Amino acid sequence: MKERSVAGKWALVTGAGSGMGRTTTLELAREGANLILVDISGESMGKVAREVEALGVEAHTFCVDLTEWGQVENMADAIHARWGAVDILINCAGIAHMSHMVETTLEDWAKLLAVNLWSIIHMVNAFAPKMIERGSGQVVNISSGQAFFAVPTWGAYACTKYAVDGYSEALRYELFWHGIGVTTVFPGIVRTPFYEAITGGPLVRIGMKVLMAVAAKPETLSRMIVKGIKRNKRHVIQPIMLPIYFLKRTMPWVFEGAGKVVAWVLKREEAGIAP
């Protein structure tokens, strides 16, 4: 598939101050794209902006709470007035959550949905119309490998990522007729601060250490994302998730059993019973 250059394009990245947002921002800068960085943390975003400028391209920052439509709308108006429609919109902002479904508070649900889903809806509603007027652009939404298999105690988080997958699928069909591509990214295990807030018993701690030992560097996935943008790929799937992607469809009984066993082991650990 022929690759399109991103050099000289204007790319907007949310969650640009850390993790995969930062590494994707820097990867785009190395390819010659100019960057608009959006994050709720101005300090971390400022550091990334300096890294971007050191690579010889422009960097502009907006400190915005993406869950607040008014803030997103004001930012979009300012960006469109100065640069017109952005060429690439990458929705990287997201948060993790680990808890049993019935123990996830309504406040946690509201925060997860606001950051992981509503922020994407806000950004697309704010920036896609100008792309449609121009007749070109690329939207990139970050889902998760948990949209393939919802692991026990990650159900609420997985729910938001299933929603991102479905949202992106319909959006891709609709925007296709306006010359706009939509790429959905399915990370598996990536070594970022995303997992630092995860706590639990001995099995959870051991499991997290094992996961981090086999986790990919965020730079690796960011290179895949940028290649996906250049090729207008429908999906970007981290290789470690490909077996789950295919086997869940052909051998669902394996995942049905695995899910129940993991849930049983975690419940016993929480109750203080040796597995």
Nearest to 23 by CA among 63, 58, 51, 60: 51
Picking from 75, 72, 71, 17, the residue whose alpha carbon sits closest to that of residue 43 is: 17
Give the span between the Cα atoms of 62 and 54, in whole angstroms.
19
Residue 157 annotated to the active site: yes
Q: Which of 157, 162, 167, 195 is catalytic?
A: 157
CA 53: distance to chain centroid?
24
**CA dihedral angle for residue 187, residue 192, residue 197, residue 200, rounded to 10 degrees:** 70
Q: What is the total residue count of the chain? A: 275
Alpha-carbon Rg for the chain, nearest whole angstrom, is 19
- In the chain, where does DSSP find H-type helix? 19-30, 42-54, 69-83, 106-113, 119-134, 155-176, 202-214, 218-230, 242-250, 252-270
- Contact by Cβ (8 Å): 38, 62: yes
Catalytic positions are 157
